[in-house]
Structure 1
Amino acid sequence: MSGMSKVRAVLTVARKRNPHFPELWLAAIRVESQHGSKNEADILMAKALQECPKSGILWAASIEMAPRLRRKTKSSDAYKKCEHDPHVIVAIGKLFWNDRKVEKVRTWLDRAVTLAPDTGDFWALLYKFELQHGTEDQQKEVMRKCIAAEPKHGETWQPISKAVENSHQPVEVILKKLVVALGKEEKAAEDNKHQ
């Protein structure tokens, strides 16, 4: 049995035992996407949204997976189902970012950090945005608010903040490292699209 087959089998068993656990669905979807099985990832996403129709992380992933022309419709559907979920709010903010609608991006990302101040990934995205499009004062304000919020969660935040070399680093250092990591993730995603 190949490594991919084992991963699929484990995730399938886990999802059958926990069908309403969106993180398991998302893990399976990402595995299929990373291995070039877009159709299988799309099928899994449809099933996942049936099992977990109010999951913001699944709706956010669904927006990002959708073809560019369908993202607006997908984001509208997601917002109707999860209008107060910060993952959906961030996904919509990213759409505005792609369209260079600076004030809308700022509004949506600011809303996300207000809804989930404990999620460092959202702070990093807002800080990265301000580094690209904001003033020095806006950058300092995001940094100040993030330090005050002392985020502890986030898919990327936790591994970076809990790494041994970062264990005693202040929030400011972790935030800056996360912005660098986000840039690397975006570059890797772009490289994968062009392969």
Structure 2
Amino acid sequence: MRMRKLRRLLEEEERINGLSKSRAFLTLARKKNPATPELWLAAIRAELRHGNNKEADSLLAKALQECPTSGILWAAAIEMVPRAQRKSKSSDAIKRCDHDPHVIAAVAKLFWHDRKVDKARSWFNRAASLAPDIGDFRALYYKSELQHGNADTQRDVLKRCIAAEPKHGERWQATSKAVENSHQPTDAILRRVVLALGVEENPML
């Protein structure tokens, strides 16, 4: 099941029938599709949306037991732990899946938040190289350069994004497939995704 379609179904389910129905839907989906990281992540995010952090943590622990090498789950683990624990959690993630672009991007964000500009740039570049078609990584990379880079580094990230013509990524697809953006060029989509990035991606807040 595609993640974008799943998110839409879950949001509709939550809006109409509430979290309990959404939980039941996801539990059934996981039974029918074991070891599917996207379904675990959807369940974790549903709990987080409702402020159920302990339940989200419990689900994440179970998810990593069932899918121990899932990059998207390890990336979520890095972001969900308290800031003081993120370095340790990122080390665990790298040991499990050191070539996964989601983990690489999550580590890049840690360096960005700590204003370690050169290291952040290196890791964002690695994530973009590993998964050139995921626009979310390029948007994070571009935003970090807008904050800490210069005209040359910003232009380089923008130029490479245009050349890659990314089509995937949660935020990228949500933006590019919106009716008002249907005919926008890649550079315009990139800038709109940057604007749409949440507070958690902004190390200045």
RMSD of aligned alpha carbons: 1.7
The one-letter amino acid of 1:103's match is D
**What is aligned with 2:194?**
179
Identical-residue share of aligned pairs (%):
65
Cα distance in 2 between the residues matched to 1:131 and 1:49: 34
Give 1:17 shift: 1.2
CA distances 1:17-60 after superposition (whole Å, capped 9, x unpaired): 11211010001001111111111111100000011111000000
Letter in 1 for 2:127: A
User: Match for 2:39 among 20, 24, 43?
Assistant: 24
Q: 1:135 to 1:118 in 2, by over 3 A?
A: same
CA contact (8 A) 2:63 2:73 kept: yes
Which residue is equivalent to 1:119?
134
Distance 1:188 1:124, change over 3 A: closer
Q: Say if 2:112 is the partner of 1:102.
A: no
Partner of 1:151: 166
* Superposed displacement of residue 189, structure 1: 9.8
Correspondence for 1:53: 68
Tell me which of 132, 137, 150 is aligned to 1:135.
Answer: 150
Q: TM-score normalized by structure 2?
A: 0.88
Quote the Cα distance in structure 2 between the aligned partners of 1:131 and 1:99: 16
TM-score (norm 1): 0.93
The residue type paired with residue 56 of structure 1 is G
Output one character per residue of 1:132-186: Cα deviation in whole Å (capped at 9) or x when no partner. 111101111111100000000000000111111111110000000000001xx21
Query: 2:69 aligns to what SS in structure 1?
Result: coil
Q: Which whole-Å CA distance do the structure 2 matches of 1:19 and 1:74 have between them?
A: 25
Q: Is the 2:108–2:120 Cα contact (8 Å) retained in structure 1?
A: yes
Aligned length: 188
Provide the rounded CA distance (Å) in 2 between the counterparts of 1:73 and 1:187. Answer: 19
Shift of 1:129: 0.6
Gaps of 5+ in 1: 191-195
Greater RCO (CA < 8 Å, at least 6 residues apart): 2
Q: Which residue of 2 aligns with 1:193?
A: none
